[in-house]
Amino acid sequence: MEKQILTSEDISKIVNGFSPIDWVQLTLLANMPIENRLIPILNAQEFAMAALRGTFRNKFPDLSMSEINMKVLAYLTPVRMEKK
């Protein structure tokens, strides 16, 4: 597959689709300690994992919660382990 070079018009079309930057929010986040900036990230991760867990629970109703949790971890882990 060959890389495609984007024109300035292509880039403008992409950028115009983004929401405007909230400079006040960025300034507030930049001035917060790192531990406070991580809280929303961890909340988002927890939400995503719970949603995936619910999806797997519906898809595999016979599995235990431990088995569902292992499926979630396997899905979210980029390294694939060899199955025995």
Of 10-14, 26-30, 61-65, 76-80, the poorest mean pLDDT is in 76-80
Residue 55 lies in a domain: yes
- 56 touches 68 (CB < 8 A): yes
Residue 22 is assigned to a structural domain of this protein:
no
pTM summary value: 0.55
Q: How far apart are CA 84 and CA 72, in angstroms?
A: 19
Average pLDDT over residues 54-76: 94
- Phi then psi dihedrals of residue 19, to 5 deg: -70, 150
In a domain, 25, yes or no: no
CA angle, 22 then 24 then 26, to 5°: 70
Q: Which domain holds residue 54?
A: 33-79
* Residue 3 included in any domain: no
pLDDT at 18 over 80: yes
Does some domain include residue 28? no
The whole-chain average pLDDT of the chain stands at 87
Widest pairwise Cα distance in the chain: 53
Percentage above 70 pLDDT, the chain: 92
Q: Quote the number of domains for the chain.
A: 1
Name the pLDDT band for 83 (thresholds 50, 70, 90): low
CA atoms within 13 A on the CB side of 40: 5
Q: Is residue 18 a part of any domain in this protein?
A: no
